[in-house]
Every structure is written in C-alpha cells, then in structure tokens.
Amino acid sequence: MLPSMTTPQDSWILLIVSLPTSGATARMRIWRTLKALGGAALRDGAYLLPARAEQVEQFRELADETQQQDGQAWLLTVHPHQDDDAAAYRALFDRASEYAELLASVSEARQTLSGLSEAELNRLLRRLGRIYEAIRKVDFFPNEASLRAEAQWRDFTGAVETILSPGEPHLASGSIARRDPTQYQGRLWATRRHIWVDRVACAWLIQRFIDPHARFLWLESPGDCPSDALGFDYDGATFTHVGEKVSFEVLLASFGLDADTGLQRLAGMVHALDVGGPTVPEASGFEAILAGARERLADDDALLAEIGLVLDSLHAHFLNNRKR
C-alpha cells in the first residue's frame, strides 16, 4: 500500500501509471476505471483529480491495482503556482459537453413519451438517469451548465411522472402533526387508482400498522374523494408529501412509526423509487415485481393483497438485516 497523504483544498492528485506491454486487459480495465472516476488525462498514463479524500482513496486503490498487475504507479500532490494554473486545472473537468450530449438525448426522448408504454417509460427514465448520475458524480466544479442540466432533467422526469402517475402530489411545505392511532380505526381511506410505489406502500402501512380494519377507495380523480374518507398521496390529501418526505414517510412520522428500523429502510426504498435519491439493492426487484403485478391485476384491492405480502417479506428482511 502507498502511504497516506494530506490533501489540502487547493491541491490536486496526479496518478502516473505504467503497465507492461503484455497487460492489454489490465490497461483497458484501469482506463475504464479512470474514465468512470472522472480523471483528466494530461497525457498517456498521467491523470489528474482534485485532491479530495474520496478521489485520493480512489487513485490509491488504482495505484495498488496497477502494482499488482506488475506495473508501476506514482501518486503526486500538485499545487497550482498561480490563479491561472488553478483555473486551467478546473477547466479540465468542465462537464458542459457531456451535459449537452445528455440533454440532446433528453430532448429527443421527450418527443416520444406519449407513444411509450409504462414499462418503456420506466426503462427510458432509468437509462437516461444512469447517464445523468454518472456525469453528476464526476462534476467536481458545478457551474451554469450543471444548473441548466438539473433544471431540464427535473422537467423531463416530471413529464414522465405525469404520464406514469397522473395527479402525483407536489412537494409542499409545512409540519407533520402527530396523530393518535386510536382515532383512526375502521376508517375509509382513499387514494388515486392504479396504485404505484408510494400509494401501495402507504395502503400496506395503514393496513398493517395503523388501521387493521381499514377500507380503501381507489379514486378516478382526487376530486371524487368523499368527505368522510381520509385521503393519501395526492395534493390536498390528509396525508401527502411534506417537504422532502413522500407520503409513506409522512405516515410514519404522523403515527410515530419511524423508530421501526425495518420501516425506516422501507421508507428509504419508497422515497428513492418515488422521487429519487440514494436507494437500496432491493429497490429494483420490488419495482419489477410491482410492475409485473400491475400488468396481471387490474383490480387495486387484489394488487394490494399481493404486493402486501412482498412488503411483509421486505419489512422482515430489513428488520433482521440492519447492517449495511
């Protein structure tokens, strides 16, 4: 292992690697890793990154791998001598062209949205989302191009979500009042029909942890909600998005269920699938199961019964496998 080093904020880390001519496979693997890390190539075999703790560790691991492949590696700390040098280093990491290429794909994709199926829309969103996140991950010095890309990406995902989930609630400010579960027994609960991630998780949570005798009404439109029903996961509902919290998280907080570690982990999964953010390995599997069930089951009561069993199992899994 190479020795540790300090990484002042105004410094850069330079990795110089040299591999034997016979190491074509190792050379390609290391080059791909460097590209994924966002390293700027100064010349063949010399790569630069800002000397932040994460990037220094990444280069150190790559240097170790190079040495294990019978190559040579040097890690150097680089300091700019003047402001012009610092600006030149930063310019090596300008992601404007990468964002422009992505946004061209996004613009082209927007023209096709209305003709795509739900599964195709989800695949498109995931594919472009992976590209966007890969650029963001190595966008060490965000600028106007970054802000434009963020705004256009948010607009694009909003357009897709509008097609996938008409009536999806918007973020709203406010506090979350604590509720007494004894006052919410045997009630009629209502949400938009064709339930998806947040709504099916909310209905499961209500049924399992809040109101075991709950009855559900699946609305064609939120405006159809009767006055005696408790609405959830639509604008103006009793329980809906508040701040950064999705409806499932709001229900957890409202009824004091957020101390349950299994439910916390489920909340993270629901949040990521509903509005984005850090996720868990189980998320893609749950989304696939839910999408398949929606293809098979037109009735939301039947869908809740089936997916409820999946959520039971995920809750047990998360509760008994806390370490991450």
List the domain boundaries for the chain: 12-91, 96-164, 181-320
pLDDT band at 31 (very low <50, low <70, confident <90, very high): confident
Q: What is the average per-residue pLDDT within 271-290?
A: 87
Name the average pLDDT for the chain: 89
Q: Is the predicted pLDDT of residue 114 greater than 80, yes or no? A: yes
Q: How far is the CA of 179 from the CAs of 2, 12, 100, 261, in angstroms?
A: 56, 52, 48, 20
Contacts of 27 (CB under 8 A, 6+ apart): 19
The span from the CA of 266 to the CA of 182, in Å, is 24
Residue 161 has pLDDT above 80, yes or no: no
Q: Give bridge partners of residue 164 from the DSSP assignment.
A: none
pLDDT digits (tens, 9 = 90+) for 38-76: 999 998 889 999 999 999 999 999 999 999 988 899 999
- Average pLDDT, integer, range 166-189: 83
Q: What's the whole-model pTM score?
A: 0.55
Q: With CA atoms as reference, report the closest residue to 138 among 64, 43, 49.
A: 49
Q: Does domain 12-91 have CATH number 3.30.70.240?
A: yes
Question: What local confidence, expressed as pLDDT, does residue 225 receive?
Answer: 93
Residue 85 has a pLDDT of 84
Q: What are phi and psi of 9, to 5 degrees?
A: -60, -30
Long-range contacts of 118-124 (CB under 8 A, 24+ apart): 118/164, 118/291, 118/294, 119/291, 121/160, 121/163, 121/164, 122/164, 122/287, 122/291, 124/160
pLDDT at position 8 over 60:
no
User: Average of pLDDT values for 204-227?
Assistant: 95
To the nearest whole percent, how much of the chain has pLDDT over 70? 94
Tokens 């269920």: give the residue: 257
pLDDT digits (tens, 9 = 90+) for 34-43: 989 999 999 8
12-18 β-sheet, strand order: 40-43, 46-50, 12-18, 72-78
**Does residue 160 have a pLDDT over 80?**
yes
20-24-27 Cα angle (round to 5): 80
